[in-house]
Amino acid sequence: MAKFSKSLERWNDRFSVEHYLFGKEPNHYLVEQQKYLIGGRALAIADGEGRNSIWLAQQGLQVDTFDFSPVAIKKAQQLAQNKKVKVHFNCNDWQSFTWSENTYDYVVGIFFQFADPEDRKELFAKMNLTLKPGGLMIIQGYGEKQIQYNTGGPGVLENLYTEELLQNAFANYEILDSQTYEKEIVEGDGHAGMSSLVGFVGRKR
Ligand SMILES: C[S@@+](CC[C@H](N)C(=O)[O-])C[C@H]1O[C@@H](n2cnc3c(N)ncnc32)[C@H](O)[C@@H]1O
């Protein structure tokens, strides 16, 4: 955990507000994939205050999550309780999380661009490992133009996505959706305003 301590402190500070930094509603791109959510187990990675995992559980999935911020997880647990849904929250950084092989029908990663290219390679490999063959990988992140918009995200060009980057990372996948677009989003005050976005949905072969 030592490697992350500065960043963990920063995230805990950001989440130490009464309101939900990224709102209580699920990410719009995830909601657009509702047709694919037909049951089974999902892992929501770096899930923050729980808006996405809770929505996935409301779709009838059995959901596990992890995030390294205990402050965010406490808020997520409260939201799940208010909405009367069950989600299994884990407080882990991505490196200490137990990624079991071929376990999930869905791996969902929404805005987890804290990983630089080297870490990202390892993180994507773990996401791939834990997804069952036939399972879906659903990813939403900021595109490279987000550097100009500055309305959310890591503010580091090398951490941003292109469609090509995601398609190469999951080259053995059947692509169900791949798009780069610009959209005005309001996801709490953490992500607000015109944004450059990349979405990817792929089925592991
Ligand atoms: C931009 S927020 C997105 C949260 C959530 N996915 C959402 O869309 O609302 C990024 C999340 O990554 C988490 N995070 C950052 N570094 C992490 C790490 N090394 N391991 C696990 N989680 C991390 C933060 O605590 C934060 O909740």
pLDDT 10s digits, 45-74? 999 999 999 999 999 999 999 999 999 999
Ligand 1 mutation pick, 114, 127, 185, max ligand atoms within 8 A of CB:
114
**What is the model's pTM?**
0.97
Atom of ligand 1 nearest to the CA of 23: 9
**119 CA → ligand 1 middle, Å:** 14
pLDDT confidence of residue 2: 54
Task: Give the C-alpha separation, 35 to 186, whole Å.
Answer: 23
Which residue's alpha carbon is nearest to atom 4 within ligand 1? 48
The beta-strand segments (E) located in 46-130 are: 62-67, 88-91, 104-110
Structure tokens at 67: 């995030």
Fold of the CATH domain 2-204: Rossmann fold (3.40.50)
pLDDT confidence of residue 192: 87
Dihedral in degrees, nearest 10, Cα atoms 56, 98, 141, 168: -120
Phi, psi of 192 (to 5 degrees): -145, 125
Ligand 1, CB within 6 Å, residue ranges: 4, 7, 11, 22, 27, 46-48, 51-52, 67-69, 72, 93-94, 110-112, 114
The residues spanned by each domain of the chain are: 2-204
H or E element at residue 146: helix 146-149
Q: Are strands 191-204 and 173-187 parallel, antiparallel or unpaired?
A: antiparallel
Structure tokens at 98: 């137990």
The dihedral sign for the CA sequence 112, 19, 41, 142: negative
Specify the 3-state DSSP secondary structure of 37: coil
Query: How many other C-beta atoms lie within 10 A of the C-beta of residue 53?
Result: 31
pLDDT confidence of residue 3: 63
Q: Which residues of the chain have pLDDT under 50?
A: none
